[in-house]
């Protein structure tokens, strides 16, 4: 390397240190194309259809549990012996223990839990879709970068072979060019496989015949709130667990009231006819009143109360466990997002060099004999490594952002999609 090479060589290194191309403007809300895409995918998604059907089933069960517990019973009687009697009666079991109101309270809690479960399904599906989209976008860009490197290495090898034939390039540098192309092809093959896997994950959610995925564009730059500024009970995970605990509490009440025997009261009216000793037939109208009360001597239903009490303890512990888990997730996802956001801000602050210009400059340096083939390949690979690092950094930022939105249940607000 000659003395005149150093200014150009230093300029290349300085440009390489600047990073990737100029980043797009930050975006704190989903763009129209992305909102339309998400709404289209979720509009007829089978997972949401399944969740909505489960919610409808819970709604119908709640309506059934809110109905009166006992129906009246119609009784008909006929007896033909020395006398003939006919009667018709009506009986009704009375809910003296308040079982119906306890069942209605349990139904309300279970319906609220089903509503929270539907909101959780919508939120989770939206997050999975956007995360898969971010991975697919990163894999697409990485595949394009890998293909570009193969093209440049192929052109470089062709030129190196011509120079080697002319005696202007040593055999060792020609071998280096061939090795570089082989490595580029191997990495391109890996990029194709990664892109295929990313597309599979996206198609599994959006459907292979779904709308074309739009570019995410830009990068999120909204500050994340602290845990103190978040109402945990607004989160569907917490609402679901809380309503499940309330339903378990209602089941304890139902089990206790089931121990109270419910009496059955009946009333009947009839007509009785019989023969007199003189052969005459007499008739009389009869009235009857019946009362029956179950005697809980063989089964007092105490085991059911104990089981419901144990379920309530488990549900309350699950609520406390869920609170701890959500607090930990919100705190950790906020830290991950802020870390990724700071790294992206540093990346932006460093400026952005035009990588294609850098590569063209390296090509001119090598063709002018200012740098050797080894230096050219090392620096060329550095530009591609820099570009891939930027792609990975932006993908991590999007993933952290979506994870934060999911943890705080604000992804529906960001996409303007609510269950």
Better-scored residue on pLDDT, 200 or 17: 200
Q: pLDDT band at 330, cuts 50/70/90? A: very high
Nearest residue to 410 (alpha-carbon basis) of 9, 30, 31, 63 = 30
CATH fold for domain 5-71+100-260+322-415: Outer membrane efflux proteins (OEP) (1.20.1600)
C-alpha–C-alpha distance, residues 326 and 391, integer Å: 30
C-alpha–C-alpha distance, residues 358 and 348, integer Å: 18
Q: pLDDT band at 276, cuts 50/70/90? A: low
C-alpha–C-alpha distance, residues 156 and 152, integer Å: 6
Per residue in 348-388, pLDDT (tens digit) is: 776 455 777 888 888 888 777 788 888 888 888 888 888 88
Query: Which residue carries 């906020």 as its tokens?
Result: 334
Q: Using alpha carbons only, give the angle 314, 230, 130 rounded to the nearest 5 degrees.
A: 90
Query: Which residue carries 């540093």 as its tokens?
Result: 346
CA 385 and chain centroid, separation: 33
C-alpha–C-alpha distance, residues 405 and 392, integer Å: 20
C-alpha–C-alpha distance, residues 160 and 171, integer Å: 10
C-alpha–C-alpha distance, residues 414 and 35, integer Å: 9
Residue 11 has pLDDT above 50, yes or no: no
> Could you tell me the residue ranges of all domains in the chain?
5-71+100-260+322-415
Residue 201 has pLDDT above 80, yes or no: yes
Per residue in 219-242, pLDDT (tens digit) is: 787 777 778 888 899 999 999 999
DSSP assignment, residue 369?
Answer: T
pTM (global) more than 0.85:
no
C-alpha–C-alpha distance, residues 235 and 174, integer Å: 62
Query: Collapsing DSSP states into helix, strand and coil, what is residue 269?
Result: strand
């Amino acid at each position: 390397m000659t003395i005149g090479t150093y200014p150009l060589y230093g300029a290349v290194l300085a440009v390489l240190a600047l990073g990737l191309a100029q980043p797009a403007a930050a975006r704190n809300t989903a763009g129209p194309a992305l909102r339309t895409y998400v709404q289209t995918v979720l509009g007829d998604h089978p997972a949401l259809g399944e969740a909505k059907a489960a919610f409808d089933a819970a709604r119908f069960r709640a309506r059934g549990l809110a109905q009166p517990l006992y129906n009246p019973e119609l009784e008909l009687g006929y007896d033909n012996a020395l006398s003939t009697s006919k009667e018709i009666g009506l009986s009704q079991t009375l809910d003296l223990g308040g079982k119906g109101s306890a069942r209605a309270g349990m139904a309300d809690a279970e319906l609220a839990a089903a509503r929270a479960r539907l909101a959780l399904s919508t939120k989770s599906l939206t997050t999975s879709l956007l995360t898969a989209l971010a991975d697919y976008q990163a894999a697409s860009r990485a595949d394009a970068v890998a293909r570009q490197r193969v093209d440049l290495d192929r052109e470089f090898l062709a030129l190196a072979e011509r120079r080697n034939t002319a005696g202007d390039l040593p055999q060792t540098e020609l071998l280096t060019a061939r090795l570089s192309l082989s490595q580029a092809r191997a990495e391109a093959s890996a990029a194709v496989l990664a892109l295929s896997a990313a597309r599979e994950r996206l198609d599994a959610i959006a459907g292979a015949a779904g709308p074309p995925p739009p570019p995410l564009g830009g990068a999120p730059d909204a500050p994340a709130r602290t845990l103190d500024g978040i109402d945990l009970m607004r989160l569907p995970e917490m609402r679901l667990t809380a309503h499940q605990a309330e339903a378990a509490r209602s089941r304890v009440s139902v089990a206790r009231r089931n121990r109270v025997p419910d009496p059955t009261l009946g009333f009947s009216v009839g007509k009785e006819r019989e023969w007199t000793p003189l052969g005459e037939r007499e008739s009389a109208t009869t009235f009857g009143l019946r009362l029956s009360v179950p005697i809980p001597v063989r089964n007092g239903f105490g085991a059911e109360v104990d089981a419901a009490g144990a379920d309530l303890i488990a549900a309350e512990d699950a609520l406390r466990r869920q609170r701890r888990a959500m607090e930990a997730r919100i705190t950790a996802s906020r830290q991950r997002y802020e870390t990724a956001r700071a790294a992206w801000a540093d990346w932006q602050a460093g400026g952005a060099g035009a990588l294609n210009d850098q590569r063209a400059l390296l090509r001119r340096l090598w063709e002018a004999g200012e740098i050797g083939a080894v230096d050219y390949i090392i620096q060329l690979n550095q530009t591609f490594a820099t570009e891939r690092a930027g792609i990975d950094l932006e993908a991590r930022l999007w993933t952290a952002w979506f994870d934060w939105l999911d943890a705080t249940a604000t992804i529906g607000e960001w996409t303007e999609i609510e269950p």
